[in-house]
Chain A
Amino acid sequence: MANIKVDCVGETCPVPLVETRKALRKAEEGDIVEVIGTHPASKKEIPMAVKSLGLELIDTQEEGGVWRIRIRR
């Protein structure tokens, strides 16, 4: 099982969402995709996408304006 990192720091709508989706498409079942970013709305919206894709949101953290979201494919 791989741990795939997606860096979206400084990116704005819709890039964090799109890059998350790209990574999830490439990931194998069981892989963990970790997205970091600074766009505030994406912190809420990536978990929405994870839900509608029927995948597992492991956790969401934020420190100093940078959030980190972990998803299991």
Chain B
Amino acid sequence: MTMFNNPLSRRSLLVGTAAGVAAVSTFTPTRFAIGQTAKIKIGLMLPYSGTYASLGNNITDAFKLRLAEVGGKLGGREVEFVQLDDESAPPKGKDNAAKLVTKDKVDILVGTVHSGVAMGMAAIAREENVLLVVPNAGAGDITGKMCAPNIFRTSFSNWQPGYACGPVMMKDGKKNVVTMTWNYPAGHEQIGGFKESYTAAGGKIVKEILLDFPKVEFQAYLTEIAALKPDAVFVFFSGDGAVKFIKDYAGAGLKGKIPLYATGFLTDGVLQAVGKDAEGIRNTLHYADSLDNPVNKKFVKAFEAATKRPADVFAVQGYDTCSLLATGLEAVKGDIKAGATLYSTMRNTIVDSPRGKFTFSASHNPIQDFYLREVRGGKDVVLGVAVKALADPAKGCSMV
């Protein structure tokens, strides 16, 4: 390190490296030399306040955990973070993303949880041609209509977990169901995925209930479900809305009489808060903290040690975001401007994730296994794989 204090030797080092690289690659030496020494700037645009604050923090901490595991550098370059609280407010999404790119001049955008905000980020990523990795938001359009070589997602598309639950319910002999979710795009998409596989398998949807987002006054709708008496109910709710729903479902006397199915977001991270009211809920997700594989075991332990919080699916997605960037940037030796080479390396990466190995589809969305889980004794127990290697249909994507 001491030689960096001497400007002469530093310069000669740069020239040396540059010349070496020029021999093996087609990049221009000057740009590469600069890229090699300057810190790589990552804009973390995530919710650090509001309902999704805990998700934002888990993603951030897991990202940093993985970064430390790979030696604190990406493609040989030190990393500098610019953290911005997106407040989960879609109206500010575009202006905030533009601020990170044009004012703070970040090299890579990472974010976010809320789909509406993430869509704004994707639009800016396309406009300004900046690499964007989405560590949660599931809007289909991100790897659908808006898909681009420089946009990646390490989480899921809303369609996926919903789709995975259809065959499960048919196998359980639930022939007619009521669906329920918030009247907003993520809700429509998750229910839409479910509807596709469920009706294709011969199931019948008696009624689709939508309620105003983010209202949690379920009473009138639970009354309706009780009157309709379906074989089962399929829902998508998450976070605090999920807590309230599970409690109200039991409170209205429906628990144990009409079985409840859901995408895994209903139970992930809320089981402690709802206690025994959640027992028996079956759900589908691409992760469970009880998954029995070495990567997961190591991750769960390391994350808890670092943050004193239990690991969850969001942390996994943040962790994998860093893994993906590390692999990609390693291949181009930290040259973020390498464009096509960088993106194709990332596209072909097999991520060794706590959720199991996964690959990317042509639209840059994970092709991954979905697990069937059931709440038993206050834990989501994995019953098996619901659908293997499920890929999003990527409707409207020009890269497919």
Co-assembled chains A and B = no
A positions within 8 Å CB-CB of B: none
| Residues of chain B at the chain A interface (Cβ within 8 Å) | none
